[in-house]
Amino acid sequence: MNAALISDIERLVACESPSGDLAAVARSAEVVAEVGAGRLGVEAERIVVEGRTHLRWRFGGRPRVLVLGHHDTVWPIGSLERRPFEVRDGVLRGPGCFDMKAGLVMAFHAIAALDDRSGVTLLVTGDEEPGSPTSRTLIEDEARRCAAVLVLEAAGPGGALKTERKGVSRYEVRVTGRASHAGLDPEKGVNAALEAAHQLLAVAALGDGGTTVTPTTLTAGTTVNTVPAEAVFEVDVRAWTEAEQRRVHSAMLALRPRLDGAVVEVVGGPNRPPLEAGSSRDLFALACRVAGRTLASAAVGGASDGNLTAGVGVPTLDGLGAVGGGAHAADEHVVVAELPGRTGLLTGLLACLLERNQDFRSVRPDQIADAAVWNHPWRD
């Protein structure tokens, strides 16, 4: 199995797909569609939204399970020349291999191994990295049709499944003051930079426990001898619960100027809801039963499309993809030895979820139609 998995991963990695390059994403979609069709024996449906290409496979019957991934990456064209695909000492490297082209290949192989795929939908989007602006509705609609969602994002540390993800909110704080000459009559101005400093401190103080509220980019002023008339800064918020998202949102909208004559405007809000522990609990327990052991789990600050599916109330388990590390970094890599077992685990999990007339929250190993599922290498 390893050779076939590695060969398919190489084909995907060799086609660079930075999110911001629509032509590159379209080329990548064709390669992904070709590899997927080769393994699944069925052509993908191309869904183009605002020039961005997404792929969908639906396998008959009543929808039960959505398998979710993306083929866009953060790596610009030319990254492959600097960091070429390679497999050395049991480690596979190449831009986008871990996040998350290996996960896509695992999905193809896992679904292909099923005796009956009826009820599976596989959705591969092309804009996850910038926040799924054109695929969000598609993802949420597909999720609502299903009883469960399995996300092939890369595994957490040590191969952990991701059972919680923080929700994300984004804001832009715009401050308007009044310009004046900094030497001749500074008192006639209203310093937008100084007002922004007050607001930055107020925003940063909204963090509480596991909730992070982080001012990020900041711009102010025009010239060194002019009192700034405008300032803008952005804020990244991460929270484990929707209640915390709402608390911070209310506080952000309640910001008021500290300097006479200044105006403060806040735009933005929640971008992705949290993937809370309750959304993944039953699926994680099922994965442990499939594996025959207690698997590792992780709660992470980064968001994925799993946040969206959990946000519409569909049970979601994330981090089912490759084991490795270095997402978005020069050390991005995949541990080759883990690929067959992780792929087998996904096959077994799908087999459980596809059992007719079964509630996946209570299914037992002896209720699985294909007993061979329970003898895959991941049990070792």
Catalytic residue annotation: 72, 128
Structure tokens at 353: 């979820």
Rounded CA-CA distance 237/252 in Å is 11
Q: Would you call 323 helix, strand, or coil by DSSP?
A: coil
Structure tokens at 178: 């009044």
Alpha-carbon distances, residue 194 vs 24, 152, 180, 235, 259 (angstroms)? 43, 46, 14, 17, 8
Identify the burial level of 115 via C-beta atoms within 10 angstroms of its C-beta, where 0-12 means exposed, 13-18 middle and 19 or more buried.
Answer: exposed
Angle CA 255–258–259, to nearest 5? 135
* Beta-bridge partners for 237: 169, 213
In DSSP notation, 74-87 reads SPPTTHHHHS--EE
Structure tokens at 349: 């999990």
Structure tokens at 238: 């991460």
Q: Are strands 65-70 and 120-125 parallel, antiparallel or unpaired?
A: parallel
Cα–Cα nearest to 122, from 135, 108, 102: 108
Residue type, 208: D
Q: Would you call 62 helix, strand, or coil by DSSP?
A: coil
Angle CA 41–44–50, to nearest 5? 170
Q: Would you call 332 helix, strand, or coil by DSSP?
A: coil
Q: What is the 8-class DSSP label of residue 43?
A: P
Q: Are strands 148-151 and 316-317 parallel, antiparallel or unpaired?
A: parallel
Residue type, 257: P
Structure tokens at 52: 């961005």
